[in-house]
Each structure stands twice: as structure tokens, then as C-alpha cells.
Amino acid sequence: MRLFAQPEATPSNLCQRLADQLSLDTSEMTLLGKPGQRVVFGCSNKIRHTLSPEHGSITFANKTELVGEWICTLVLEIDRDWSWQSLATVSFEIRRNNTELVGTIEVKDTVSLVAAKQADRSKTRIVFFDLVDPKDFTGEFPEPMSLIPLNQFSKPIPPPRIRTRR
């Protein structure tokens, strides 16, 4: 229930709960990797957000926009050293049901200062956020959508091993 001239109630720990589920650190509305862990973020344009220049942190614009929505995450791990530079500028395209482009992920040649502390340089985590409005599903409970990461290599080499986390 919303009272006149009162802000809509939101869970105060929304970002903290999201960070805990994804093994990330948080600072207010910003998510970032834990010290020594390289994380590259991507996000669909359905969520207002800001990415840091190296895409090592993401800041959501408003907590109230996220309440009552389904936040879908795609987490990938690339088992390659940080010095591996075979990905194109737009490294991955995320498509819904193999047609609709949801967003892109850019793996930059730079890392955040948080990642550089006590660094584990053997892998890179990629976290992509999408938002689904539950009001779009009025019939039966929705089937899982397939979000397909399509990698873009700048040089023809064997693709990296990518493991998804559930």
C-alpha cells in the first residue's frame, strides 16, 4: 500500500541480496567483483544503469524500478588468463530465443583496481543482467527463455571453455 506523498516501499537490501546470490560485493546501488576477481558486467537496456569504463562495476539507477520485476542473470566464466586478447570489441551478443538482441558485453583490455588486488588472473567472470516484466505473462507460467551468448573473436582461434553457473 502506498500512502499519499510517501515513497513506494522497497526492500532496503535488494542490491545486497542480489550481490550475495552472485558472489559479488556491493556499495549502495553498485555491484562489483570481490578483490582479486575480474568481473565484466553487461546489461540490457530495459534496466537503467551505468557501467564503469572497464565494465568492472555496474550501478543501477533506481531501486524502485527493480522491485516487482524479474531480474534474470547470465553468469559465464572464461578460463583464460587476463592477457588473452582474442575477443573483439563487442565480445558477446546476448540474444533472446536466438532472435531478439538483448544486449552486448565488451571485455576490455583493462581491469578495475579491485580486481588487481591479490589477483587471480586465471579466469574472468561475465555477468549479464536482463529484466522481465512479470505482467507480460498473463497465461500459464512462462517457459524458460534461451539466452544465447554469441562470442565475437578478433582472430580465428579455438573458443574458450565457458561454464555457466546456475
- pLDDT tens-digit profile of 123-163? 889 999 998 877 777 777 766 666 555 665 554 445 555 56
Burial class (CB in 10 A: 0-12, 13-18, 19+), 98: exposed
What is the pLDDT at residue 52? 92
- pLDDT bucket at 2, cuts 50 / 70 / 90: very low
Q: Is residue 57 part of a domain?
A: yes
Give the pLDDT mean for 97-108: 84
In the predicted structure, residue 1 carries a pLDDT above the cut 60: no
pLDDT > 70: percent of the chain: 78
Q: Is residue 117 part of a domain?
A: yes
Q: Is residue 128 part of a domain?
A: yes
- What global pTM score does this model have? 0.76
What is the pLDDT at residue 147? 56
- pLDDT bucket at 55, cuts 50 / 70 / 90: very high
d(CA 61, CA 72): 17
Domain extent at residue 120: 14-82+110-133
Share in percent of the chain as helix, strand, coil (round to 5): 10, 35, 50
* pLDDT greater at residue 21 or residue 134: 21
- pLDDT bucket at 10, cuts 50 / 70 / 90: low
- pLDDT bucket at 108, cuts 50 / 70 / 90: confident
Q: Is residue 126 part of a domain?
A: yes
> Which residues on adjacent β-strands are paired with residue 124?
78
Q: Is residue 162 part of a domain?
A: no
Q: Is residue 73 part of a domain?
A: yes
d(CA 141, CA 163): 28
The count of structural domains within the chain is 1
**Nearest by Cα to 93 from 110, 107, 111:** 107
d(CA 22, CA 40): 13
Burial string for 130-142 (b: 16+ CB within 10 Å, else e) reads bbbeeeeeeeeee
Q: Is residue 121 part of a domain?
A: yes
> Which residues on adjacent β-strands are paired with residue 30?
27, 59
In the predicted structure, residue 39 carries a pLDDT above the cut 80: yes
Q: Is residue 97 part of a domain?
A: no
